[in-house]
Structure 1
Amino acid sequence: MNNLISGIQQVGIGVPNANEVWKWYRKTLGLNVPIFNDEADAKLMTSYTSGEVRRRHAIMALNMAGGGGVEIWQYKNRVPVEPSFIPELGDLGIFAIKIKCLDVPKFYAQLADSEYKSSPENSPEQRANFWLKDCRGNLLQIVPNESWFRPNGSLTGGVCGAVIGVSNMEKAIQFYANTLQIDQIVYDKSGKFDDFDFVDAKQQKFRRVLLRKTLGETGAFGKLLGGIEIELVQALDRSPRKIFEDRDWGDAGFIHLCFDALDMNALKTRCEANGFPFTVDSADSFDMGEAAGRFSYVEDPDGTLIEFVETHRVPILKKLGIYLNLKKRKKQTHLPDWMVATLGWGKVKD
């Protein structure tokens, strides 16, 4: 079967001030290359925004060392709603995002001592990782990774995965492993886990499954985005709540996980055949201001929003009118490294 997705393109983060949050991600994690930074109306998302068209300011930024980006998303006509409760590990939705790291202990030592990071612990894979809170209190997990584009002096890259709470592990695996083909099961463990101490879950029982998709040969930006790690976590001691319970897409927190789609029509057919129909589909190339592509959304078995983007155009130097057009490209092999590297020409220096 042909690959239908390559890597993670971005994770959406709802915030009250996009510029302020992007500054933290630039300075702390090196996500300093804006692919777009614009305002627009989210006209196709009304089914997830209480039936109203929401205007937003969105910044999608990458770290050119490799990995997916963050899409920092701010309402312009509404104050984002915070959760009415403190989400716990195992609650349904995106609990944390995974940030790739060249040297976890060294990066840990670089960060100032604070209550916003945990001590390094070993995962069930026996690899060191630690938790870190961003400037909004969103949880990140810093994890080792061997999938890099061009290490650039930063110890971290971009997003390589997510920790997602699920209510039924078998149904979740049917979606993430069987439908999306993130199908390497690295571990499937049940019990109590020391590396959950920082998130106040060390004494609770969970089933956790780490799924991995390693870097393949497909996808124009596959080498830049790298492999994927999805950790599914099911609470065994309690009934979980939806992290976005009674809230809209775009409200505070991780609003969606977006994958780079290689063949949207085939992906739509596969999702429908497996019982996960698209809930939003731009159907054709959709202008996102400085970039363009076809995008769609689907819900995992617990309603977590998953986005797919088939990229048609990305800006290299907007001021000079230089764009990379992929719509008529026939092959799904990686673009040459030098061509992908031109995305970094727009890097913002602090």
Structure 2
Amino acid sequence: MNEIINGIQQIGIGVSDTKAVFNWYRKHLGFDILLFQDEATASLMTQYTNGVAQRRDAYLSLNMRGGGGLEIWQFKDRVPNPPKKPVLLGDLGINAMKIKSIDINQTHGSLQKLELTDLSKITQHGSQNDFFHFNDPWGNPVQVVQGNSSFTNTKSASGGVIGAVIGVSDMTTSMSFYHELLGYSKVLVDETLVLPTSINSHGKEKFRRVIISQNREKVGGFGELLGVTQLDLVQALDRKPIKIYKDRLWGDLGYIHICFDVHGMDKLRAKAEAINHPFTVDSAKGFDMGDAAGHFGYVEDPDGTLIELVETHKVPILKAMGLYLNLKKRNPARPLPKWLVKTLSLHRVSKDI
């Protein structure tokens, strides 16, 4: 069987307070499923942490409306560093995450009540769904896109992660990488336009923007929960962009990686090598995060943006009773029954932790 890309499992966010970030996204954007909380040493990531294995605290939160989750990641033994300069649109790396909302006006209105300083107006742009931007309280840019589907109904109109805005230096090279490795072969938008360099910026520059999506011929496991995804590639045409994590560590403040839920790591490893983007990190025999287990690897896109690939083997359903879902015993090309995925709601957190 060929490899399967089920969707975006999560976006990693380097933070200075995991609880505060989890509580904010739980309360205001519906990421209230705490699938796991794990404290361990990231011993395989030393090439991205100056050769030192860093202890970290990580929360994985999901939104049952559907879409990917958030891996909220905090160093335990060092203070994380912010970007040396404000991140501008088109800088190399993850510029923003994209989440969906089934009622964008409702989500926008609820965020207006929080008096965020960087909340844009709802924008209509050609054939694209309505969208708006804001910066969360820690300065992480978020794009909210009108969505048309939900995995299940929740109290929040907003859903999970459906993609990311990624700064690239050469559009053709980046499009080829995401097509060949991850199957992003559908071009939804390809345009050159003048845009502000950030939400609160008056300066404008010229960019090439290409939105790409997958042809989802096969989807298994949690693929129906994760849903359809899109990557918003942005190339600055008026300046040479800087690398967001230059001279900083993986885990420092900001978006540290984008993670895809996959099946067929051996074939993906071979494909990555064939396109000259070999795995830079490979858990090989797997990982065990206490409440979850599987196999993960990292590759770098042409500009060094970290792409994580995770083949999940075990997830907790009811930890207190020792009930776990073993995905290795299932047909990877068949989505899990909806009722079974809904049992993840047992991990819902209803108040601040």
TM-score by length of 1: 0.96
* Distance in 1 between residues matched to 2:116 and 2:172, nearest whole Å: 38
Please list every run of 5 or more consecutive structure 2 residues that lacks an aligned counterpart in the other structure: none
* Distance in 2 between residues matched to 1:225 and 1:331, nearest whole Å: 15
**Amino acid paired to 1:95:** N
Structure 2 contact 69–161 (Cα < 8 Å) conserved: yes
Aligned residues: 349
Task: Summarize the Cα distance change of 1:110–1:215 in structure 2 as closer, same or farther, 3 Å threshold.
Answer: farther
* Distance in 2 between residues matched to 1:283 and 1:114, nearest whole Å: 43
Correspondence for 1:334: 335
Task: Summarize the Cα distance change of 1:94–1:34 in structure 2 as closer, same or farther, 3 Å threshold.
Answer: same
1:183-332 alignment runs, 5 A limit:
183-193=185-195, 198=199, 200=201, 203-213=204-214, 217-332=218-333
1:87-166 alignment runs, 5 A limit:
87-111=87-111, 112=113, 113-166=115-168
Please list every run of 5 or more consecutive structure 1 residues that lacks an aligned counterpart in the other structure: none
* Distance in 1 between residues matched to 2:146 and 2:226, nearest whole Å: 15
Identity %: 49
2:23 match: secondary structure: helix
The C-alpha deviation readout for 1:138-172, integer Å capped at 9, x for no partner, is 00000012342112232111100000000000110
* Distance in 2 between residues matched to 1:204 and 1:3, nearest whole Å: 39
* Distance in 2 between residues matched to 1:92 and 1:201, nearest whole Å: 21
**Amino acid paired to 1:172:** S
Structure 2 contact 116–134 (Cα < 8 Å) conserved: no
Correspondence for 2:170: 168
Structure 1 contact 60–69 (Cα < 8 Å) conserved: yes
User: Structure 1 residues 175-184 or 26-35, which shifts more?
Assistant: 175-184
Task: Summarize the Cα distance change of 1:216–1:240 in structure 2 as closer, same or farther, 3 Å threshold.
Answer: same
Structure 2 contact 10–70 (Cα < 8 Å) conserved: yes
Structure 1 contact 147–215 (Cα < 8 Å) conserved: no
User: Structure 1 residues 1-10 or 173-182, which shifts more?
Assistant: 1-10
Structure 2 contact 185–215 (Cα < 8 Å) conserved: no
1:201 Cα shift?
7.0
* Distance in 1 between residues matched to 2:266 and 2:30, nearest whole Å: 34
User: Structure 1 residues 298-307 or 119-128, which shifts more?
Assistant: 119-128
The C-alpha deviation readout for 1:96-142, integer Å capped at 9, x for no partner, is 00011101122212221442311111235342110021121100000
1:218 Cα shift?
1.4
**Amino acid paired to 2:52:** E
Indicate yes or no: 2:26 matched with 1:26.
Answer: yes
* Distance in 1 between residues matched to 2:233 and 2:306, nearest whole Å: 15
1:38 match: secondary structure: strand
Structure 1 contact 89–201 (Cα < 8 Å) conserved: no
Moved over 3 A (4+): 123-126, 214-217
* Distance in 2 between residues matched to 1:97 and 1:130, nearest whole Å: 12
* Distance in 1 between residues matched to 2:336 and 2:229, nearest whole Å: 19
